[in-house]
Structures are given as C-alpha cells and as structure tokens.
Structure 1
Amino acid sequence: MLVASYHDFGVKAARKAVEVLLKGGSALDAVEMGIREIEGDPNVRSVGLNGYPNWLGEVELDAGIMDGKTLKACGVAAVKYVKYPITLARRLLEESPHVLIVGEGALKLAKALGVELASTTSSKHSQEAKAKKEELLRAIEKGELTGYRKEVYMKIYRLMTKVSHETIGVIAVDSWNNIVAGTSTSGLAFKVPGRVGDSAVVGAGFYADNKYGAAICTGVGEVALRTLAAFHAVRLLAENYTPQEVAEIVIERALAIAEQEGIEYRLGIVVANRFSVGAASMNWRDFKYVYWKEGMKEVTISPAKTLT
C-alpha cells in the first residue's frame, strides 16, 4: 500500500487516506476521504467552499478522480454549493457514464444523488475578491489598463496566478494493488466565472492506470491542461522511467512554455508507481510532497526538486 500527496495540508489528507487503507478500505475510499479532509478545512484558502472566490465573489469548485483498475474517471467543474466535490465526482464515476460535468448540470446531479450541499456560494474571502476587482477597475480608469485586449487580460491573469493556486491531490494504492488519483480545488483566486483548471480534467490534473502508476498536479492549471501533464507522466512510467525522472521531464516541458511566454507559471507534480514516489516543480521553491508506504509509522513530507 502507498499514499502520496503534496503541500503542507497534504499531510492531513495523507494521514486520512492511510487510516482508510489500514482499515481495509479501497484506494477509491482513501482518495475520496483524504481529499474531503481538506475540502472541509476552514483554514485552507484554495480548496473547498472556504477557498478564494471568483471575480464575482462566488466560489466555484473543480474536482476529479480516476480508478486505475477500470480507467473510469469523472471530473466536476465550476460547481457551486457542493460541500465535497470529490464525493460528487466519485458518485458520478460509479453511477454514470460521464467523464466531465460542469456548472448547473453538476449541481442538478448533486441534488439528485443527495450529495451534501451548502447554503451559500460566498466565502470569507469574497470581500477580498471584490476589493481586488475594484483595484483593477481603478487601474483601468487611470489609463493603466486600456481596452479589453489580450495584453490587458494577461495583466489580470498574471495577477491572479500570483495569489493562490494550490490544489489538494491524493494518490493511493490499496491492498489489492489498485491505484487511484484524485484532485480538488477552488481554482485561481478571483478567476473569471466559469474558468476551469486542470483539477477536473482527466489527463491534465490527474491520471491513474494500474499497469503503470499515477500522477497528480497542482499550480496554474492552464499549463497542465496544455501539456496533459498527468497523462504524459503515466505514459513515461510505461516507458520504464522512474517516478522522479518522470516528474522532472514533465516539469521541463512545462517550463519551456513558461519561458517562451515570459510568465512565471507555478506547477508541481507528484508521480507514483506501486513502489516509489517522485516529485518536481517549477518556479515553486517551497513545493513539498507527502509520502507513505506500508510499513512506515508516519507519513513524511519532503521538499521536491525545483526547476527554474
């Protein structure tokens, strides 16, 4: 058995996942319950309904999960009110043929499935979102930003990418050697309503295949989407690269995009097979990964290799 995650709050998620596995739970159970620990944590500002809201002050959530045994996967994106979006993603994985459900459709299915809902889409950070919006509008009025052109939007986008983009992700291998990967996030802070990152998209933010291994991403989702980072990682595992080698190759590919566009995108990835874990990041010197393997008394957290 094995569990992997990332970020300081990933320790809490990993501990829960380990607890589930040691009690005989499946990898699906472990990933879901580990991620729920963070989705419900009021102190985490980038995951769940306590996370940073979009431009309008509303929290929109993305999550996804994949079963490496069956290659079934499902993501939910831009969904509101759902307290545990990873649970909705898992229910849809098991009870529907869908791979990606967004917005109002995801909310309707959540209600039909009896998934737990909250009464509001606002968070304690909504006022901060409104203040940031007003700051940008003032800049436009002063002539610092003029017109809705590409360069204007990119200035706004650069600002968003510097605030918050930490995902919670968990990989688990259970006693039956099944491997599962899942991710969940509230997305870029103050994002454009309807913006979807990599955490809901199979192959971009998460991927799992029992034959080879799994990968989970965190950071600016557009880079992971454009490179299909998680899928690329698992395909490299199939070519007998080690998880650490894979992580660095994927990040090097993403780094080339960042250098070409002159944007200091942050991206981190954790890659695992049944035996070991590798991790790397770009432009993220404090990026850490979390690891546990059967026989260890406690999960460990370590700095990942950072490429710049």
Structure 2
Amino acid sequence: MPQPILIVHGGAGTIPEERHPAAMEGCRRAAQAGWSALSAGGSALDAVEAAVRALEDDPTFNAGRGSIMTRVGTVEMDALIMDGTTLRAGAVAAVRRVRNPITLARAVMERTPHVLLVGPSAEALAELLGLPTADDAELVAPRDRERWEALWRNGPPDLREVLAQALAEPMDTVGAVALDAAGHVAAAVSTGGMSNKWPGRVGDSALIGCGAYADDRVGAVVATGWGETLMRVVISKTACDFMALGLTVQTAVEAAIRLLEERVDGRGGLIGVDRMGRIGIAHNTPHMAWAWTNGETLRVGIRAATSR
C-alpha cells in the first residue's frame, strides 16, 4: 500500500509579507493535527476534518474564526467534505453562528440523507447536534472589520470596487486532502467567502467538484481562489479527470489552473493527492500557503515551484 500523506492549504492570492510567517505556521499546525488523526489509526476523512478544524480555529485564515464580512456586516460560511471511498459528501452554505462548519458538513453527510444544507436549516442541525456556536464578533478577523468599515465609510461601495478589492486581497479559503493507510482519499474545504459579498452568495467551496472532489480510483483535489470562476470550470473535478486520463497529479493541477486562466480569466490554487500518495500544488496567484507531511517529513511553503 502507498504511504499515508496529508496536504493542507491556507488560501491563494496576494498574501502580505508580514502575514507569511503566520500563514505558514497555521498550515504547519493544521498538517500536524491531520497527521495526528492518521497516526492514531484514523481515516483520511478524519484527517482532513481535523486539519480543516485547525485552520478554522486560526484567525489567520478566512474560515471559522477568521471569516470575512458580507455586504451587510454579517458572517456567512461554506464548507464541504468528501469521502473518496463511497463518493459520499456533506456540505453547508451561508451558515452563521457555527464555530466549525467543516464538522457540520460532515454531520450532513453522516447524519442526514442529504448532501447540502443551507442557512437556517443547516444551523438548526448544528443546534440539534449540540455543535459549538459563536457569534459574528467571535468569527470576524479584526483586519476584515477594519476593511469593511473603510469600504463603507462614504456610503455603499460600488460592487466593482468590492470585486477589485476582493481579488487584490488573500483568497484564504482553507482545505486539506489526505490518503490513509487503507488507500482511501478524502477532501475538505471551508471558507468565510468573498469580502463584502452579497448576503446569500455561495461560492465554490460548498459545491462538489468545484471546491473539492475525492475518488479512490483517482485521488483528491481541493481548490481556493475566486469562486465564481472556479465554479465555471468545475475545477477540482476537472483536475481529477485529468488524473484519470493519465496525467500525474502535479501535471493535472497545473493543467486545471491553466484552464481556469485561459477560459474564464480566473485566479486560484489547487492541492491534490493521487491514489499512490503523490502530491501536487499549483496556483496562478503570487502566493499560496501550504504544508504537507507523511509522518517522516513535514514541509511548509508560501509559493509552489509552478506558480506564475
């Protein structure tokens, strides 16, 4: 059997240099959290949930406790988890007051007959299961509150201005993929969405094949970036399809990023693992924070060798 491995990312975009150490350290800790689950006999699914929970708990990233604000000053989060063994998946979208959306997404997969729950209905499931809650004040990163207040200082901002600002900032959605000792893969992704997004906006992170995809026959891929463009090329499934055609995982994620750029002028990044435990990292943004470990080696970076 191939050696177990786990890789995480902390988002792609233009990450200010002063935030590089925190982004890399957060990814390192998340990789260690995921590996702890694997080394204790857990599944790939356990590992990616543990890794993403660690990233959600770190206000460095746009997920969980570091989420950004909608146009009306609230927090709405999306998350998805997928099991490559059965192709089961669970997702939540536009949820509020949930401390760890990735755990709620797993509950959707394992405790309901559904794949995707949104808004108050997803929050009701969290309440029923007694999952930890948090209000907006606990979930918003201070830097984003400052940005939001500056953008609204002179009245409602133009949506084009909002988009330009969002694309100029880190798109620090978080995610993880893993291969376990049984040869199974899994993927997980979580986000606070796009800065100053319209309430009710759902990005790629909650959608199977867009934010993430996992299939034991091929591998697993997780995306980050400008969600509206990632969705239009179904980027995570596209990368998996490239692997199914015989491309290596590294070549597959690179090809998917090229397609994103050429077809829809998109920006983002991908991490992937194939069924043999080989990994791939690609992005067309200046930076993407990542870490991977196989238990013997742990590597962390802020750029991939193939980034442009």
TM-score, with structure 2 as normaliser = 0.87
Q: How many pairs does the alignment contain?
A: 287
Cα distance between partner residues in 2 of 1:13 and 1:40 = 10
Q: Secondary structure at the match of 1:254?
A: helix
Identity %: 33
Residue 209 in structure 1 maps to residue 229 in structure 2: no
Q: Could you list the runs of 5+ residues in structure 1 that have no partner in the other structure?
A: 140-151, 260-264
Aligned to 1:97: 113
Instruction: Report the more deviating stretch, 82-91 or 113-122.
Output: 113-122
- The one-letter amino acid paired with 1:49 is R
Query: Match for residue 39 of structure 1?
Result: 56
What residue number does 1:143 align with? none
- Residue equivalent to 1:268: 269
SS in 2 for 1:169: strand
Match of 2:246 in 1: 240
3-state DSSP class of the match of 1:108?
helix
Q: Is the 8 A contact 1:214 1:271 kept in 2?
A: yes
C-alpha deviations, 1:221-262, integer Å up to 9, x for none?
Answer: 111111000011111111111011101110111111354xxx
1:81-120 equivalences under 5 Å are 81-120=97-136
Cα distance, 1:306 vs structure 2: 4.6
Gaps of 5+ in 2: 11-23
How far 1:87 moved relative to its partner?
A: 0.3
Residues 194/164 of structure 1: CA separation in 2 closer, same or farther (3 Å cut): farther
* Bigger relative contact order (CA 8 A; separation at least 6): 2
2:160 to 154, 176, 183: 154
Are the equivalent residues in 2 in contact too, given 1:164–1:189 (CA < 8 A)?
no
Alignment of 1:133-144 (within 5 A): 133-135=152-154, 137=156
Matched, 1:15 2:32: yes
| Conservation of the 8 A alpha-carbon contact between 1:160 and 1:191 | no
Partners of 2:181 and 2:67 lie apart in 1 by 34
Q: Secondary structure in 2 aligned to 1:256?
A: helix
Aligned to 1:253: 259
RMSD across aligned positions (CA)? 2.0
Tell me how far apart the structure 1 counterparts of residues 215 and 272 of structure 2 sit (CA, whole Å): 12
1:305 to partner: Cα distance: 4.0
Q: Which of 2, 5, 22 is matched with 2:5 structurally?
A: 2
SS of alignment partner, residue 52 of structure 1: coil
Q: TM-score, with normalisation over the residues of structure 1? A: 0.87
Q: Does 1:64 align with 2:80?
A: yes
CA distance in structure 2 between the aligned counterparts of 1:290 and 1:266, rounded to whole angstroms: 20
Q: Aligned equivalents of 1:87 and 1:107: distance in 2?
A: 12
Question: 1:108-152: per-residue Cα shift (whole Å, max 9, x none)?
Answer: 111112211114466233353133123463x7xxxxxxxxxxxx6
Q: CA 1:291–1:303 in structure 2 vs 1: closer, same or farther (change >3 Å)?
A: same
Residue 98 of structure 1 deviates from its aligned partner by 1.3
Aligned partners of 1:68 and 1:209 also within 8 Å: yes
